[in-house]
Amino acid sequence: KIPVQSRELWNKHKVRKFGTAEEFEEKFISHVEWTLARSLYNCDDLAAYQATSQSVRDNLVIDWNKTQQRQTARDGKKVYYLSLEFLMGRALDNALINMRTDTSSQDVGPTDETLTKGNTAREMIRNAMKDLGFKLEDVLEQEPDAALGNGGLGRLAACFVDSLATGNYPAWGYGLRYQYGIFAQKIIDGYQVETPDYWLNFSNPWEIERSEIQVPINFYGYVHRPESEKTTTSPSDWIGGERVLAMAHDMPIPGFKTPTVNNLRLWSAKPTTEFDFSKFNNGDYKNSVEQQQRAESITAVLYPNDNFDQGKELRLKQQYFWCAASLHDIVRRFKKNKRPWSEFPDAIAIQLNDTHPTLAIVELQRVLVDLEKLDWHKAWDIVTKTFAYTNHTVMQEALEKWPVGLLGHLLPRHLEIIYDINWFFLQSVEKKFPHDMDLLSRVSVIEEGSQERYVRMAFLAIIGSHKVNGVAELHSDLIKSTIFQDFVKVYGANKFTNVTNGITPRRWLKQANPKLAELISETINDPNDDYLLDMSKLTELAKYAEDEAFQKKWNDVKQFNKSRLADLIKRLNNGVDIIDRDHIRNTLFDIQVKRIHEYKRQQLNIFGVINRYLCMKEMLQSGSSIDEVAERYPRKVSIFGGKSAPGYYMAKLIIKLVNSVAEVVNNDAEICDLLKVFFIPDYNVSKAEIITPASDLSEHISTAGTEASGTSNMKFVMNGGLIIGTVDGANVEITREIGEDNIFLFGNLSENVEELRYNHQFQNTSLPEALVKVLNAVESGAFSPQNASEFRPLIDSIKHQGDYYLVSDDFDSYVATQDLVDQVYHKDKKEWLKKSILSVANVGFFSSDRCIEEYAETIWNAEPVKPE
Ligand code: GLS
């Protein structure tokens, strides 16, 4: 603590934010010289990016410190969002957009007064950069994506921290600081090849290393119980066998138009300073060092699976390491206030992003019982009131379960606690439903198999939480009627709720689509972009849906964004332009970008493309002119992108098929560029920012009942793209919000899926004619002349293995709906533009600000801490 008499001096030298371009320039140069130890003579774009980020970060840190002080002083309920994935993307541009320009605070910073009229902080920096000799766009390009996530689940967490800060909630994210994010995808000969993403190659200006915060974490070892304590529910000592340290790295998360800057705390593993002297003395110096180094492997790499549980020991280690460090941190902060333990749930809400952090439930129970010596039941009451769990999938292969042996070996005391939690839970079930042995075994946390026994993490998460939510209405209904059906019986339906996902409009509209954002703010007369905080303001746009002059402007923005994407594609295609720029306005950009997964059905999309191509060829063969073909099958570019899990054979084969089809179609002179296919390699957040605004149509075509929500569907709609989709996930609510006239739905409904699957297995179902032709072409080697059987597994899965994802059942409906898309797009542009405008006008519901409010009100009972 600084003595009172010294404080005046501190205040005299108080650090200040830059507010003007000149102040920024001064900061920039001092960072080039002092932080980077470079100079005017060797400052390249990368150094300029580093210096700009450091300067902007200085501003954020001032607000960050104040936010933490304010939130501590106000002592409201704190929210902690535990997520193994945060797919953040780039930070600099986002910070520039979120940098406040209001005058309400005494702090210096870019304000309405220091900025020339109508200029944003971002514009100010752009001009300053220009004066310093740099182009902002080139400098922004230097930043590597922070790709600490796989797909939707990780990006959701990133949108949530943005909205939490924007809504002034006292909320921290907790995650892991992987040294390697999701792999970089290369396409070689049409195949996905994974290369490591060493994103920390150049130092990361957005993280603040907290070397003073190091939490010891134990693994393995054994449990010791004093003689007097007979049962496992009484305080026990866990004597850990291996110890590593968790070190904190903080990333400031700025809210939009508010001085609230929240914290994302990521843990990295490092060896303890303790040294195994016995080994050392035995002359085994190398081994004792090696063991120390093993620690770092815990946070070395993100597991590259989406919607799939691989069950690796190192993954379990990651999970415990992160849960234990985060809880230690949370408990330490709580204890500072010396409030009674019973008030813990009034002070703290912890949200579990999927089952990955379920061990936090067990760890808190251990801390309370073993370390704080609370009675088991009192402790359990605190635990269940603190936690809430979000389920993100119904896919069986994604539901986490850990072998009892593995868990007990790594975390012996935690396994005991899990058994006891289960014991008390089953007792309560038995009381409510006496003698229902089947029910007991169905809801037990322990799955009794013939060989191995498993801990079912989702069940543990439900039992340890006061609320469980799904991520879209259909999904939340489905979990209640399928995977968690028995728990609805046990707890009643009220424990289960829905919070439909959302996305942050700051990144996905303002940042990704500056031209559209500008047109919107000009049209609805909102020069300060307040609509980005209140998306219901967008309904104003509906007035102009049929206004011809406005439609033209709207269309011009889309064309600009399509050209921007065409440029990117050209660059990725080694400079070869596959998109005819003269016809870009009449070329439908049809995009499917997301993780590659059989349930997301990129195979349905590419089969549709093949069908189109075969039909075009057939027309030509039977004597039609190219104009007639163009009339029936107008210009289209089919764009794909997404990563497959490295071990997912079928998904990788789908990528290869897309690339093989592209090879044939793009080089077929006969079809005169009417159809093009392109697979964008290494789809990531920063590429999504270019891809999303450019779609005319995007595809969200999962088998009904399989996609929990989807969030890219929301991103595309927010950018004026129309959707072709199944009645699945959030597509249902998108339809409700934007109107069924403005979305192209097709395919079977989720309630029919079971029967259709049954039919494939036990009835003789025939395939649609068009699909048969497609499969025959693929089988004949039309796209793999060197190896005709290459795509056999994809065909077999449909023809001979029950077509689990119902490609054949939805194929005709899909093709017919694509025809409808062509008709509206090419024959009735006005109608198309009207749909596009109305979609954006009604997309407001899908702002992640709305989700966070729902979580705060219905699950966390947390209030914003507004800055004065
Ligand atoms: C996912 C679901 O598959 C998506 O539908 C959902 O939008 C996302 C966020 O809730 O979570 N679950 C998962 O394991 N990966 C996802 O992207």
Which atom of ligand 1 is closest in space to residue 393's alpha carbon? 12
Name the average pLDDT for the chain: 96
600 and 701 in contact (C-beta within 8 Å)? yes
pLDDT at 101 over 90: no
Task: Render pLDDT for 797-831 as a digit per residue (tens, 0 to 9).
Answer: 999 999 999 999 999 999 999 999 999 999 999 99
Cβ-contact 150, 182 below 8 angstroms = yes
Atom of ligand 1 nearest to the CA of 711: 7
120 band by pLDDT with thresholds 50, 70 and 90: confident
Residue 246 near residue 217 (C-beta atoms within 8 A): yes
Pairwise CA distance, residues 373 & 380, whole Å: 12
How much is the pLDDT for 494?
98
Report H helices in 444-547.
457-463, 473-481, 485-491, 505, 514-523
DSSP state of 180: B
Among residues 600, 612, 656, 687, the one annotated as catalytic is 600
Cα–Cα distance between 168 and 502 in angstroms, integer? 18
- pLDDT at position 375 is 98
Burial class (CB in 10 A: 0-12, 13-18, 19+), 560: middle
Tell which one of 354, 709, 713 to mutate to probe ligand 1, the residue whose CB is within 8 A of the most ligand atoms.
709
Give the pLDDT confidence score for residue 227 in this predicted structure: 86
108 Cβ neighbours under 8 A, 6+ residues apart: 16, 17, 18, 19, 114
pLDDT at residue 335, as a whole number:
98
pLDDT reported for residue 290: 83
Distances (CA, A) of 772 to 602, 608, 757: 18, 12, 19
Give the chain's count of helices (H) and strands (E). 34, 24
pLDDT of residue 274: 74
Q: Which of 388, 392, 484 is nearest to 730 (CA)?
A: 392
pLDDT digits (tens, 9 = 90+) for 11-21: 999 999 999 99
Task: Kindly give the residue spans of alpha helices, DSSP state H, lying in 152-262.
Answer: 152-166
Q: Has 392 been annotated as catalytic?
A: yes
Alpha carbons 337 and 114: distance in angstroms, whole number: 40
- Rg (Cα) of the chain, in Å, rounded? 28
Contact 86, 80 (CB under 8 A): no
Asked if the model's pLDDT at residue 777 lies above 60, the reply is yes
Q: How many angstroms separate the alpha carbon of residue 335 from the centre of ligand 1?
A: 35
Q: Which pLDDT band, with edges at 50, 70 and 90, does 107 fall under?
A: low
* Residue from 392, 598, 715, 848 to probe ligand 1 pocket by mutation (most atoms less than 8 Å from CB): 392
369 secondary structure, DSSP code: I
Cα-to-centroid distance, 156 and ligand 1 (Å): 8
Please check whether residue 174 is in contact with residue 122, taking contact to mean a CB–CB distance below 8 angstroms. Answer: no
State in Å: Cα 709 to ligand 1 middle. 6
* CA-closest residue to ligand 1 atom 15: 153
Q: What is the mean pLDDT of residues 569-577?
A: 98
Tell me the two tokens of residue 496.
């289960």
Specify which residues 722 forms β-bridges with.
697
708 C-alpha to ligand 1 centroid (Å): 6
Spatial separation of the C-alpha atoms in residues 460 and 399, rounded to whole Å: 12
- pTM of the predicted structure, to 2 decimals: 0.97
Per-residue burial over 807-836, b if 16 or more Cβ lie within 10 Å, else e, is bbbbbeebbebbeebbebbbeeeeebbbbb
Is 191 strand, coil or helix? Answer: strand
Q: How many CA atoms lie within 13 A of 193 on its CB side?
A: 7
Known catalytic residue: 595? yes
Residue type present at position 677: V
Domains of the chain: 4-74+92-142 (no CATH), 147-498 (3.40.50.2000), 562-852 (3.40.50.2000)
Give the ligand 1 atom nearest the CA of 595: 17
The answer to whether the beta carbons of residues 458 and 479 sit under 8 Å apart is: no
**152 C-alpha vs ligand 1 centroid, how far in Å?**
5
- Between CA 486 and CA 442 the distance in angstroms is 8
Contact 96/56 with Cβ under 8 angstroms?
Answer: yes
Answer yes or no: is pLDDT of 473 > 70.
yes
In terms of Cα–Cα distance, which of 357, 366, 411, 367 is closest to 387?
357
Q: Which residues line ligand 1 (CB under 6 A)?
A: 151-153, 156, 306-307, 392-393, 398, 471, 501, 707-711, 729
pLDDT band at 711 (very low <50, low <70, confident <90, very high): very high
Asked about 332 being catalytic, the answer comes back as no
Catalytic residue among 57, 270, 392, 475: 392
Q: How many angstroms is it from 715 CA to the middle of ligand 1?
A: 14
- Reported as a pLDDT band with limits 50, 70 and 90, residue 517 is very high
Question: What is the SS3 assignment for 625?
Answer: coil
What are the beta bridge partners of residue 637?
589, 676
Helix (H, G, I), strand (E, B) or coil at 87: strand
- What is the mean pLDDT of the segment spanning 664-675? 98
Compute φ and ψ for 522, nearest 5 degrees: -70, -40
Lowest mean pLDDT among 104-113, 424-433, 733-742: 104-113
In this structure, the strands spanning 744-746 and 496-498 are: unpaired
Atom of ligand 1 nearest to the CA of 708: 5
**Tens-digit pLDDT profile for residues 222-276:** 999 988 887 999 999 999 899 999 999 999 999 999 999 999 999 999 999 776 6
Concerning whether 552 is annotated as a catalytic residue, the answer is no
Element (H, E) at 422: helix 412-432
At 262, which amino acid appears? N
Q: Smallest Cα–Cα separation from 380: which of 339, 333, 335, 422?
A: 422
Give the pairing type, strands 675-680 and 237-239. Answer: unpaired
Q: Residue 635 in contact with residue 562, Cβ under 8 Å?
A: no
Residue type, 342: S
Considering only CA atoms, which residue is closest to atom 11 of ligand 1? 153
In angstroms, the CA 730 to CA 721 distance is 16
Q: Which residue's CA is minimally distant from atom 14 of ligand 1?
A: 307
Condensed to tens digits (0 to 9), the pLDDT of residues 440-463 reads 999 999 999 878 999 999 999 999
Which tokens in the block code for residue 98?
């979120």
From the candidates 317, 562, 595, 597, which is the catalytic residue?
Answer: 595
How far is the C-alpha of 709 from the C-alpha of 772, rounded, in Å? 31
- Coil vs helix vs strand at 756: helix
If you measure from the C-alpha of residue 719 to the centroid of ligand 1, how many angstroms do you get, rounded to a whole number?
21
Contact 225, 237 (CB under 8 A): yes
Q: Among 572, 544, 565, which Cα is nearest to 837's?
A: 544
Which tokens sit at 756?
């259709």
Residue that is written with structure tokens 């945060």 in the block: 86
Asked if residue 661 lies in contact with residue 638, where contact means CB atoms within 8 angstroms, the answer is no
Question: Which among 81, 86, 153 is the best mutation to test ligand 1's pocket, defined by most ligand atoms within 8 Å of the CB?
Answer: 153
pLDDT at 641 over 90: yes
Q: What SS3 class is residue 218?
A: strand
Cα–Cα dist 598/605, whole Å: 11
Q: How far is C-alpha 833 from the geometric centre of its chain's CA atoms? A: 30
830 tagged catalytic: no
Q: Tell me, what's the pLDDT at 105?
A: 42
Classify residue 788 by burial, with Cβ atoms within 10 Å: 0-12, 13-18, 19+: middle
Atom of ligand 1 lying closest to residue 398 CA: 14
d(CA 859, CA 861): 6
Proportion of the chain above pLDDT 70, given as a percent: 97
Strands annotated E in 689-808: 697-700, 722-726, 744-746
Ligand 1 atom nearest the C-alpha of 354 is: 14
272-310 pLDDT tens trace: 977 667 777 788 888 878 877 889 999 999 999 999 999
pLDDT for position 845: 99
Amino acid, res. 851:
C
CA 255 – CA 53 distance, rounded (Å): 17
Cβ atoms of 716 and 692 within 8 Å: the answer is yes
Check whether 117 has a pLDDT greater than 60: no
* Residue 341 structure tokens: 């333990």
**Catalytic residue chosen out of the listed positions 523, 711, 726, 817:** 711
The two three-digit tokens of residue 370, written as one number: 């073993």
- Catalytic-residue membership of 467: no
Q: Is residue 784 within 8 Å of 791, Cβ to Cβ? A: yes
Distance 634 CA to ligand 1 centre (A): 34
- pLDDT for 229 equals 80
Q: By C-alpha distance, which of 301, 298, 344, 300 is closest to 325?
A: 298
In 364-420, the DSSP E strands lie at 387-390, 401-403
CA of 153 to the centre of ligand 1 (A): 5
Residue 811's φ and ψ, nearest 5 degrees, are -65, -50
Name the residue with the closest Cα to ligand 1, atom 17: 152
Task: Grade residue 104 by pLDDT with cuts at 50, 70 and 90.
Answer: very low
Q: Which pLDDT score, from 0 to 100, does residue 280 have?
A: 72
C-beta of residue 532 within 8 angstroms of C-beta of residue 512:
no
Cβ pair 562, 769 in contact under 8 A: no
Give the residue-averaged pLDDT of 576-588. Answer: 97
Residue 483 main-chain phi, psi, to 5 deg: -60, -30
Spacing of C-alpha 363 from chain mean position: 26
pLDDT tens by residue, 45-56: 999 999 999 999
Q: What's the mean pLDDT in 622-645?
A: 98
ipTM surpassing 0.90, yes or no? yes
Spatial strand order in the sheet of 675-680: 675-680, 636-641, 588-593, 697-700, 722-726, 744-746
What percent of the residues of the chain are helix, what percent strand, and what percent coil, each to the nearest 5? 55, 15, 30
- Among residues 122, 270, 413, 594, which one is catalytic? 594
Amino acid identity of residue 622, one-letter, is S
- Tell me, what's the pLDDT at 113? 55
